[in-house]
């Protein structure tokens, strides 16, 4: 992550990396040597939306901080006191001016580089696009035209494309990124075919 917590929020003492016994065994974390407060470093929940219009096109937008040619899904942080469903409707409205009229969950994926967990929805919208200052341009793409990227929100887009009866096509999101999807994440596998799961014996 780009920013690391340095001081205890309880007593302002500088934090130190210390090992301590936890449920899973000895674990090194940032801890306060004065009051024993622990920084758990839990992932931050981020909401993402595959925004679809009545023409069955997906909205892809470019963040003002991204280089030209990089487009992604609408995303934003979940706020305290709101459900993920309410949060994604708020984010879509704030960032695009579009109102969500129906939604369904697509899945969740980790984004380890930013210590985030992505919760992705497929939303149907109405209205006219009015981009927030965070976004500088957008494009509508059909399921045939859209290209997925091999990380978090790219897999959400791939699930939406597959729901249209098409096989997703992957490509690099940014220069020098591998265009190939992670085989542990795409294509989806049935539990019986996925080595990460052990099925109980038949009784």
| Per-residue model confidence as pLDDT tens digits over 16-51 | 999 999 988 999 999 999 999 999 889 999 999 999
- Mean pLDDT across 121-127: 98
pTM of the model: 0.84
What average pLDDT is seen over the chain? 92
Can you give the chain as a three-state secondary structure string? CCCCCCECCCCCCECEEEEEEECCEEEEEEECCCCCCEECCCCEEEEEEEEECCCCEEEEEEECCCCCCCCECEEEECCCCCCHHHHHHHHHHHHHCCEEEEEEEEEEEEEHHHCEEEEEEEEEEECCCCCCCCEEEEEEEECCCCCECCCHHHHHHHHHHHHCCCCCCECCCCCCCCCCCCCCCCCCCCHHHCCCCCCCCCC
Q: What is the pLDDT of residue 71?
A: 96
Q: What is the pLDDT of residue 3?
A: 63
User: What are the structural domains of the chain?
Assistant: 1-41 (2.20.70), 44-190 (3.90.79.10)
Of the listed ranges 9-13, 79-83, 87-91, 177-181, the one predicted with least confidence: 177-181
Say if residue 2's pLDDT is above 70: no
């Amino acid at each position: 992550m780009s920013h690391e917590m340095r001081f205890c929020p309880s007593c302002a003492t500088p934090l130190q990396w210390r090992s301590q016994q936890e449920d899973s065994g000895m674990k090194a974390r940032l801890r306060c040597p004065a009051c024993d407060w622990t920084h758990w470093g839990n992932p931050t929940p981020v909401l993402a939306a595959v925004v679809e219009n009545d023409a069955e096109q997906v909205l892809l937008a470019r963040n003002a901080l991204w280089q030209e040619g990089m487009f992604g899904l609408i995303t934003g942080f979940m706020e305290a006191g709101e459900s993920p469903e309410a949060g994604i409707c708020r984010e879509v409205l704030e960032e695009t001016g579009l109102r969500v009229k129906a939604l369904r969950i697509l899945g969740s994926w980790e984004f380890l580089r930013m210590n985030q967990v992505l919760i992705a929805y497929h939303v149907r919208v109405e209205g006219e696009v009015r981009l927030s200052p965070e976004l500088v341009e957008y494009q509508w793409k059909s399921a045939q035209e859209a290209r997925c990227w091999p990380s978090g929100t790219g897999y959400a887009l791939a699930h939406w494309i597959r729901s249209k009866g098409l096989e997703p096509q992957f490509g690099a999101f940014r220069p020098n990124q591998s265009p190939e999807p992670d085989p542990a994440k795409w294509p989806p596998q049935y539990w019986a075919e996925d080595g990460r799961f052990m099925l109980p014996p038949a009784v």
